[in-house]
């Protein structure tokens, strides 16, 4: 079945460091890919998405490119801030049954 694998956390970085959180997926067909962010004490909210190969999603300085050849959707940000500390979830939506499949989440800690 479809699955999403993302790097284990926590990931701890200093402010202004470069961020990469890896996400790879297994799916048949052409799924849509998402990154969600969960700030402490809150629900998940969509950070960015890509619906077809080579699409780049971007928001709030974060970017991720849908790479079908490597089945990846890695999240990147050039210069992180303390306010980016949160849990980040990679997810896919199957194009056959529209089920959402979630990664395990990666906790990001940014130190000043």
Partner 1 sequence: DTAVSQTPKYLVTQMGNDKSIKCEQNLGHDTMYWYKQDSKKFLKIMFSYNNKELIINETVPNRFSPKSPDKAHLNLHINSLELGDSAVYFCASSHLGGTVNTEAFFGQGTRLTVV
Residues that bind partner 1 (CB under 8 A): 32, 34, 38, 42-46, 49, 87, 89, 93, 98-100, 102, 104-105, 107
**What dihedral angle (degrees, nearest 10) is formed by the CA atoms of 98, 96, 24, 1?**
100
Residue with smaller CB distance to partner 1, 73 or 89: 89
**Residue with Cβ nearer partner 1 (72 or 102):** 102
Identify which of residues 28 and 79 has a Cβ nearer to partner 1 in the complex. Answer: 28
Asked if 64 and 4 touch (Cβ cutoff 8 Å), the reply is no
Strands 19-21 and 75-77: antiparallel
């Amino acid at each position: 079945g479809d699955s999403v694998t993302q790097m284990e956390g926590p990931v701890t970085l200093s402010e202004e460091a470069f961020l990469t959180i890896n996400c790879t997926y297994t799916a048949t067909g052409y799924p849509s890919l998402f990154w969600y962010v969960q700030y402490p004490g809150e629900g998940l909210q969509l950070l960015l998405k890509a619906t077809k190969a080579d699409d780049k999603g971007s928001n709030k300085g974060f970017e991720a490119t849908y790479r079908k050849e490597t089945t990846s959707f890695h999240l990147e940000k050039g210069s992180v801030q303390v306010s980016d500390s949160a849990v980040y979830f990679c997810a896919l939506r199957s194009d056959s049954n529209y089920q959402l499949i979630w990664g395990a989440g990666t906790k990001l800690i940014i130190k000043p």
